[in-house]
Amino acid sequence: MFDSIKMKVSSVFIRPEILRQYNFASFTYRNQKTGIMTTFQMQDEIIPYIKYQEASGTLTIQVSIPKLLYGNNVKAINECDIPIFFQRVQERLQQLFGIHIAHEDWRITRLDVCCNFRVGNRTGEYVRQLSKGKMPYKDTRNYNHDETGNRKTNYHVDIK
């Protein structure tokens, strides 16, 4: 199942007075070509990672799809949940910043895929074998090694 997703969109304008009303962590640096560039970063109760680069208008968010929809990342999501996910993201960004972003404008830069396997006491062996898998455009990283907690094995995929 899909878990966390990181996605970005460019050419977004958030009014400076809206940015100032939130407790953003911001940092400014000087780009030799374009001048001063400011990046704002914040955590929200619904979207835990929001980053906005003022000069380029790039907005990046990261959120767990099942946590946003169901309050936990144990329940598997279905295809019919994806439009609801985008609708809730859209509603929250509208509440926070007064912006509307079309679903098709988002570019996915990371997607975590998780799967529940019933393997008994052979968890470590299965995790090691799965982490050896190779696919084009995929970077596999083995998290938690032999630990699964609720038998949920995390499998990270970077989309390149």
Q: ∠45-51-54 over CA atoms, to 5°?
A: 135
DSSP state of 18: H
pLDDT in tens, the chain (160 residues): 778 899 999 999 998 888 878 777 766 666 666 666 678 888 889 999 999 988 889 999 999 999 999 998 878 888 899 999 999 999 999 999 999 999 999 999 988 877 666 778 887 887 777 777 776 655 556 555 544 444 444 444 444 4
Q: Write out the DSSP string of 44-109.
A: -SSSSEEEEETTTTEEEEEEEHHHHHHSSSSSPP-TTHHHHHHHHHHHHHHHHH-----GGG-EEE
Domain segments of the chain as ranges? 2-98, 117-160
- Check: pTM over 0.75? Answer yes or no: no
What confidence score (pLDDT) does residue 117 get?
Answer: 66
- Distance CA(71)–CA(83), nearest Å, equals 17
- Distance CA(68)–CA(2), nearest Å, equals 12
